[in-house]
């Protein structure tokens, strides 16, 4: 639509044509679509969270939930777990750091430089971690304050039953538990070809990692537990260190295997057992948040990842 307007130019009047919008017809040209969702930047978490342990939880699974390493969870909860992943219990409240590293309680006399060196961490990352709230000019920390050491690490204190060869069975029952066998034994030898020690061939809890030198195999309460290879029983009964009822077999070829958290045991000290023979029943004894089989493999005194010797599931 065109509207004519008279406008003076000098002493004359002229007609000027002005465009006129048809608002109903052209409404679409000025319409703006409303955004119903606001985009919020995805910033990384920097605060330490609290997590309450549930039935069936493990340090390994909890770490996976929060996308951090299981070592980080152990290091952040030394006062409760004492570097032992089997020490978790239902209802326990754990610190969950936002990043991998060491969540450290500052001590009298500590300096930023000394702490960074102690945990082999980068000084700049400690200073730059905003949740630490450190003054970059004068980075002092009060004793007792908790500080995140991103990328830091330290050694573990391992809680383990020692390797027990058949020729020297007889570890201290007062130290390692009443299941410690006495005397030396002779008997069956292993083939070196292992079989799965439970009916299920998948995990229910911790995998093998630096703080847990075993795998936790899914096995319900009372499920049969089998000897992974032939050998002689060198530990049978209650064990300290969180294992609960436990069996260790020496296979006579450098290998030993250990079976923990059993509900009951059917193989005794010095007994020869065959590959696949029932030696006990799965349970939830010792430090455990649910029934499963804690399974260790050792060779020549060192630990072997069980996945390396077990057949593919």
Q: What is the DSSP letter of 198?
A: B
- Boundaries of every domain in the chain: 49-150, 166-308
Residue range 245-256: mean pLDDT, rounded:
97
Is pTM beyond 0.75? Reply is no
Q: What pLDDT is attached to residue 33?
A: 54
CA distances from 139 to 69, 129, 168, 230, 234 (A): 28, 12, 55, 60, 55
Q: What pLDDT is attached to residue 86?
A: 79
Residue range 131-155: mean pLDDT, rounded:
90
Q: What pLDDT is attached to residue 35?
A: 52
Residue range 142-147: mean pLDDT, rounded:
93
Whether residue 26 is predicted with pLDDT greater than 60 in this model: the reply is no
Q: What pLDDT is attached to residue 310?
A: 97
Residue range 145-171: mean pLDDT, rounded:
86
**Under CATH, which number does the domain 166-308 receive?**
2.70.70.10
Q: What pLDDT is attached to residue 14?
A: 47
Q: What is the DSSP letter of 81?
A: H
Given pLDDT bands bounded at 50, 70 and 90, which one contains residue 177? very high
Percentage of residues in the chain with pLDDT exceeding 90?
A: 63
Q: What pLDDT is attached to residue 198?
A: 98
CA angle, 291 as apex, 226 and 309 as ends, to 5°?
Answer: 40
Given pLDDT bands bounded at 50, 70 and 90, which one contains residue 280? very high
Whether residue 42 is predicted with pLDDT greater than 80 in this model: the reply is no
Map residue 131 onto helix, strand or coil.
helix
Looking at domain 49-150, its CATH class is alpha beta
Which tokens hold the place of 140? 């002092």
Given pLDDT bands bounded at 50, 70 and 90, which one contains residue 27? very low
Whether residue 135 is predicted with pLDDT greater than 80 in this model: the reply is yes
Whether residue 15 is predicted with pLDDT greater than 60 in this model: the reply is no
Which tokens hold the place of 12? 């004359």
Whether residue 134 is predicted with pLDDT greater than 70 in this model: the reply is yes
Whether residue 36 is predicted with pLDDT greater than 60 in this model: the reply is no
Label residues 131-160 b or e (16+ Cβ within 10 Å = b): ebebeeeebebeeeeebbbbebbbebeebe
CA 126 to chain centre: 23
Note the pLDDT tens digit of each residue in 115-129.
Answer: 999 999 999 999 999
Given pLDDT bands bounded at 50, 70 and 90, which one contains residue 147? very high
């Amino acid at each position: 639509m065109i509207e004519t307007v008279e406008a003076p130019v000098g002493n004359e009047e002229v007609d000027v044509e002005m465009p006129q919008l048809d608002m109903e017809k052209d409404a679409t040209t000025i319409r703006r679509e409303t955004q119903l969702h606001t985009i919020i930047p995805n910033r990384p978490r920097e605060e330490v969270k609290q997590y309450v342990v549930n039935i069936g939880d493990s340090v390994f699974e909890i770490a996976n939930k929060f996308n951090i390493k299981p070592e980080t969870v152990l290091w952040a909860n030394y006062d409760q777990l004492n570097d032992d992943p089997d020490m978790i219990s239902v209802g326990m409240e754990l610190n969950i750091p936002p990043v991998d590293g060491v969540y450290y309680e500052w001590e009298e006399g500590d300096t930023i430089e000394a702490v960074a060196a102690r945990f082999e961490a980068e000084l700049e990352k400690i200073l730059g971690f905003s949740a630490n709230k450190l003054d970059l000019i004068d980075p002092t920390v009060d004793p007792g304050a908790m500080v995140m050491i991103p990328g830091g690490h330290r050694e573990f204190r391992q809680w383990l039953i020692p390797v027990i060869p058949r020729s020297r069975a007889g570890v201290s029952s007062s130290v390692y538990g009443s299941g410690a066998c006495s005397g030396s034994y002779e008997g069956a030898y292993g083939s070196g070809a292992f079989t799965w020690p439970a009916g299920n061939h998948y995990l229910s809890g911790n995998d093998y990692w630096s703080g847990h030198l075993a795998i936790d195999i899914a096995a319900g309460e009372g499920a049969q537990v089998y000897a992974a290879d032939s050998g002689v029983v060198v530990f049978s009964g209650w064990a300290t260190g969180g294992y609960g009822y436990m069996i260790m077999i020496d296979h006579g070829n450098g290998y030993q295997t250990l079976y923990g958290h059993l509900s009951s045991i059917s193989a005794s000290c010095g007994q020869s057992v065959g590959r696949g023979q029932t030696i006990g029943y799965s349970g939830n004894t010792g430090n455990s948040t649910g029934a499963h089989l804690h399974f260790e493999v050792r060779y020549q005194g060192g630990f072997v990842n069980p996945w390396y010797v077990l057949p593919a599931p």
